[in-house]
């Protein structure tokens, strides 16, 4: 069960806002972690979000702008829509592909990673081995009256919160309304009657809510019974919670006996190709594979826009490293001075949320971060996030608590970005030890390991088995090979025990699947087990995996919030939205604005547009009849960083004004200089301040217009 394992961070008190505002792990990090309930909660009322310019943040206004400008839109809306499915419109799609391009350059190209593209369709056996078939589930209950399906923890939470609200109403305490989707709100309001509760009951409810993520299905069922929690819609108690697997199931091929699933993460395809990738890498370690692709999770109740969806883009890296030698990283020195904001597990254990800022070099040397390779990726993740325009003051790395992680995991940190929904996990970075390769190797017999030639051979002492092949074959006949393989596979500790059996009983019994009744007896005439030394030239090991895992949709949403602000309009209209994306990620780089629909502008606009495209800069022309100001503010909402006005001066002398979205300042220069400036800004090699120093400012308000119009 995702919700099965308990973990401390949600057991801390509700006053500690941390657990209540952390969206968990779409990005799988550890074995337990992969199967936990996502911790999505509304932000606590105390938390105020501000825009890039420190203005109060108004989410409904931003949401409406994003839909109006088609950053994203509910899928199949004309058919009524499907919860948790969104389409990206042109600006969202361009933003996404720019972020992916930067990701690919920053990680795959820079680090020489081996990118693979694996299928989303996955046969059941693979996900059975990985644990998803048995454990990737949430608890759900059904309303026996109307058949409504409820996510058990969400349901308990909603009813108790409604009762607490009713209590506060009865006590005359003003409650700040939380934002919820309209449907939910309706239900809640309907159910919120002002009923005063006993003080002890209030305390009990608050305690339950604080640890809501710790209850398993049975415990949630008990809560529903004990507190007589009823569905406000029907007035009846829902059925006891049952496990609901979150993978989409289908059948691969024409016969229905080949069940398959849509992958819930992109990691498994990479693990399965490990041996081929190692071969491709000419057997050299360490190395990393990477993958960008869609994953699918059948959430019971998707919410919060792009943050909890049923189909989403992930970018995952699996870095394979030798577990011996402290997991050093050859390029650690390059990033050791990068400062990171860390929320370590000790601070969380103490119920605090204090962020410590330190260099990653120090964090590794003082043991806060487990090893260099993990530290290296934390720094590289942060560099990537800052490069695309995430706000450093709204970024932190939160370490997983010891009991959030599986027993085999060495360490795990989430890059969390602060939004109006709280701190959201956008990148997970876990040291998964040798777990994944080991389970798949064990299941399939594939050699998912590294064989390394030792510089100096070593001598080891071990329990060796010698079979008397002459007698062994004839004795077991057709089963000979099978029994021999089972004998060879016996681990050292088992061999030691069997050596004693052989001495005592003159025979041993071992289990061999598919031979006789599954147990085979071998007498000392056929087998000898003894302690012997041997010289070893190679070393075999299963690499450990460091897994940075990016939820692209969440990153995009946080990026949008971090770069959003509003510009007061001098004319007195309502404030206008601006998205101050860095030029390299902006969906469109340049807006071309002819001053009017005058014929003389057209060839110039077309030429500029062609030239910009030929140097790889995306442009948009707005030759509508709207005022220049209106056309620019329309594109401020799209995050277009630069604007070129084509005016009569351009016709006359070939000069253009270039406008900066954020400052609205303009410079004027000839075509060549303007194109050069745009290219440098779009690539990110210069910023606007550089350009302002190089090119003359333009303050004029198109004074030449009347003169030229007359002449024309």
Give the whole-angstrom CA distance, residue 674 versus residue 658: 7
By CB under 8 A, name the one of 50, 53, 64, 110 that touches its own copies: 110
Sequence-separated (6 or more) residues with CB below 8 Å from residue 491? none
CB of 69 to its own copies, least distance (A): 8
CB of 645 to its own copies, least distance (A): 19
The pair of structure tokens assigned to 703 is: 């004074």
Q: Which helix (H) or strand (E) holds 151?
A: strand 149-151
Find the binding residues for its own copies in span 308-367 (CB under 8 A): 310-311
CB of 173 to its own copies, least distance (A): 36
Altogether, the residues listed in the chain come to a count of 712
CB count, 10 Å around CB of 469? 11
* One character per residue 142-161, x = contact with its own copies (rule: CB under 8 A): -----x-x------------
Counting contacts by CB under 8 A, is residue 276 touching its own copies? yes
CB count, 10 Å around CB of 254? 6
Find the binding residues for its own copies in span 440-459 (CB under 8 A): 440, 443-444, 446, 448
CA angle 490, 131, 11 (to 5 degrees): 120
Between 97 and 523, name the residue whose CB sits nearer to its own copies.
97
CB of 313 to its own copies, least distance (A): 8
Between 195 and 258, name the residue whose CB sits nearer to its own copies.
258
Between 258 and 575, name the residue whose CB sits nearer to its own copies.
258
CB of 300 to its own copies, least distance (A): 5
Give the whole-angstrom CA distance, residue 647 versus residue 658: 12
By CB under 8 A, name the one of 114, 450, 529, 558 that touches its own copies: 114
CB of 249 to its own copies, least distance (A): 6
Counting contacts by CB under 8 A, is residue 221 touching its own copies? no
Between 94 and 646, name the residue whose CB sits nearer to its own copies.
94
Counting contacts by CB under 8 A, is residue 249 touching its own copies? yes
Counting contacts by CB under 8 A, is residue 244 touching its own copies? yes
CB count, 10 Å around CB of 88? 20
By CB under 8 A, name the one of 54, 60, 172, 253 that touches its own copies: 253
Give the whole-angstrom CA distance, residue 50 versus residue 53: 8
Give the whole-angstrom CA distance, residue 307 versus residue 179: 15
Asked whether 667 and 657 are in contact (CB, 8 A), the reply is yes
Sequence-separated (6 or more) residues with CB below 8 Å from residue 538? 451, 452, 453, 454
CB count, 10 Å around CB of 653? 9
- Judged by CB under 8 A, the stretch of 186-194, 242-250, 342-350, 363-371 that binds its own copies is 242-250
CB of 446 to its own copies, least distance (A): 4
Find the binding residues for its own copies in span 645-674 (CB under 8 A): none
CB of 125 to its own copies, least distance (A): 6
Give the whole-angstrom CA distance, residue 599 versus residue 596: 9
The pair of structure tokens assigned to 21 is: 């505002």
Between 109 and 194, name the residue whose CB sits nearer to its own copies.
109
Helical segments of 518-562, H only: 552-562
Where b means 16+ CB within 10 Å and e means fewer, 535-550 reads eeeeeeebbbbbbbbb
Give the whole-angstrom CA distance, residue 122 versus residue 440: 14
Asked whether 554 and 306 are in contact (CB, 8 A), the reply is yes
Helical segments of 141-181, H only: 152-171
Find the binding residues for its own copies in span 551-610 (CB under 8 A): none
Which phi and psi (to 5°) does residue 698 adopt?
-120, 120
By CB under 8 A, name the one of 146, 280, 442, 462 that touches its own copies: 280
By CB under 8 A, name the one of 53, 105, 190, 532 that touches its own copies: 105
Counting contacts by CB under 8 A, is residue 535 touching its own copies? no
CB of 331 to its own copies, least distance (A): 11
Give the whole-angstrom CA distance, residue 316 versus residue 115: 10
Give the whole-angstrom CA distance, residue 487 versus residue 490: 5
Between 104 and 507, name the residue whose CB sits nearer to its own copies.
104
CA-closest candidate to residue 399, choices 347, 361, 323:
347
- Judged by CB under 8 A, the stretch of 106-114, 524-532, 560-568, 577-585 that binds its own copies is 106-114
Counting contacts by CB under 8 A, is residue 135 touching its own copies? no
CB of 408 to its own copies, least distance (A): 21
Q: DSSP class of residue 682?
A: H
Find the binding residues for its own copies in span 35-74 (CB under 8 A): 69-70, 73
By CB under 8 A, name the one of 248, 332, 408, 541 that touches its own copies: 248
Between 310 and 562, name the residue whose CB sits nearer to its own copies.
310
CB of 275 to its own copies, least distance (A): 8
* One character per residue 408-437, x = contact with its own copies (rule: CB under 8 A): ------------------------------
By CB under 8 A, name the one of 63, 121, 185, 189 that touches its own copies: 121
Give the whole-angstrom CA distance, residue 340 versus residue 392: 9
Counting contacts by CB under 8 A, is residue 79 touching its own copies? yes
Counting contacts by CB under 8 A, is residue 252 touching its own copies? yes
């Amino acid at each position: 069960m995702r919700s099965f394992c308990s973990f401390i961070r949600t057991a801390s008190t509700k006053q500690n806002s941390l657990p209540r505002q952390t969206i968990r792990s779409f990005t799988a990090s550890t074995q337990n972690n992969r199967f936990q309930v996502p911790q999505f909660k509304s932000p606590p009322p105390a938390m105020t979000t501000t825009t890039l310019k420190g203005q109060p943040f108004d989410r409904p206004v931003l949401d409406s702008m994003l839909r109006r400008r088609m950053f994203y839109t509910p899928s199949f809306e004309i058919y009524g829509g499907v919860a948790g499915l969104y389409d990206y419109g042109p600006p969202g799609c361009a933003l996404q592909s720019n972020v992916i391009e930067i990701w690919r350059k920053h990680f795959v190209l820079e680090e020489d990673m081996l990118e693979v593209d694996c299928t989303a369709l996955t046969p059941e056996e693979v996900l059975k081995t990985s644990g998803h078939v048995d454990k990737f589930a949430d608890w759900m209950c059904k309303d026996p009256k109307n058949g409504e399906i409820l996510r058990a923890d969400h349901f308990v939470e909603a009813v108790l919160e409604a009762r607490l609200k009713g209590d506060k109403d009865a006590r005359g305490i003003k409650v700040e309304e939380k934002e919820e989707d309209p449907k939910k709100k309706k239900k809640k309001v309907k159910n919120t009657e002002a009923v005063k509760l006993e003080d002890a009951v209030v305390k009990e409810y608050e305690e339950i809510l604080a640890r809501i993520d710790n209850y398993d299905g049975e415990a949630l069922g008990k809560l529903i019974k004990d507190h007589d929690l009823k569905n406000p819609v029907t007035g009846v108690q829902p059925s006891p919670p049952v496990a609901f697997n979150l993978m989409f199931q289908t059948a691969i091929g024409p016969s229905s006996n080949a069940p398959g699933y849509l992958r819930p993460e992109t990691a498994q395809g990479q693990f399965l190709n490990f041996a081929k990738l190692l071969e491709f890498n000419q057997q050299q370690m360490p190395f990393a594979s990477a993958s960008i692709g869609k994953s699918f999770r059948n959430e019971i109740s998707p919410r919060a826009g792009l943050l909890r969806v049923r189909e989403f883009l992930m970018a995952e890296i699996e870095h394979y490293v030798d577990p011996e030698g402290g997991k050093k990283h050859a390029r650690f020195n390059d990033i050791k001075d990068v400062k990171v904001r860390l929320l370590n597990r000790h601070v969380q254990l103490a119920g605090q949320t204090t962020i410590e800022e330190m260099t990653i070099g120090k964090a590794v040397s003082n043991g806060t971060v487990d090893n260099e390779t993990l530290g290296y990726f934390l720094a590289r993740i942060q560099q990537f996030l800052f490069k695309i325009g995430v706000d450093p003051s709204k970024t932190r790395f939160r370490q997983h608590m010891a009991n959030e992680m599986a027993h085999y995991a060495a360490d795990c940190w989430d890059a969390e970005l602060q939004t109006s929904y709280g701190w959201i996990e956008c990148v997970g970075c876990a040291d998964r030890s040798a777990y994944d390769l080991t389970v798949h190797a064990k299941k399939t017999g594939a050699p998912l390991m590294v064989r390394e030639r030792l510089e100096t051979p070593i001598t080891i002492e071990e329990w060796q088995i010698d079979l008397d092949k002459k007698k062994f074959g004839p004795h077991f006949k057709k089963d000979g090979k099978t029994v021999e393989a089972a004998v060879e596979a016996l681990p050292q500790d088992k061999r030691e025990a069997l050596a004693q059996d052989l001495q005592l009983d003159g025979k041993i019994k071992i289990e061999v699947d598919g031979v006789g009744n599954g147990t085979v007896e071998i007498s000392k005439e056929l087998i000898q087990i003894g302690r012997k030394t041997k010289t070893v030239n190679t070393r075999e090991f299963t690499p450990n995996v460091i897994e940075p895992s990016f939820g692209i949709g969440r990153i995009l949403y946080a990026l949008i919030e971090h770069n959003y602000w509003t510009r007061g309009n001098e004319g007195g209209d309502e404030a206008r939205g601006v998205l101050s994306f860095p030029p390299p990620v902006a969906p469109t780089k340049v807006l071309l604005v002819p001053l009017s629909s005058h014929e003389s502008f057209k060839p110039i606009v077309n030429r500029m547009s062609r030239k910009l495209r030929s140097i790889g800069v995306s442009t948009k022309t707005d030759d509508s009849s709207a005022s220049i100001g209106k056309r620019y503010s329309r594109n401020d909402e799209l995050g277009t960083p630069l604007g070129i006005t084509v005016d009569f001066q351009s016709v006359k002398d070939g000069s253009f004004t270039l406008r900066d979205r954020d400052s609205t300042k303009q410079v004027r220069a000839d075509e060549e200089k303007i194109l050069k400036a745009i290219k440098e800004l779009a690539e990110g090699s210069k910023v606007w301040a550089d350009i302002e120093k190089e090119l003359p400012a333009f303050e004029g308000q198109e004074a030449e217009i009347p003169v030229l119009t007359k002449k024309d």
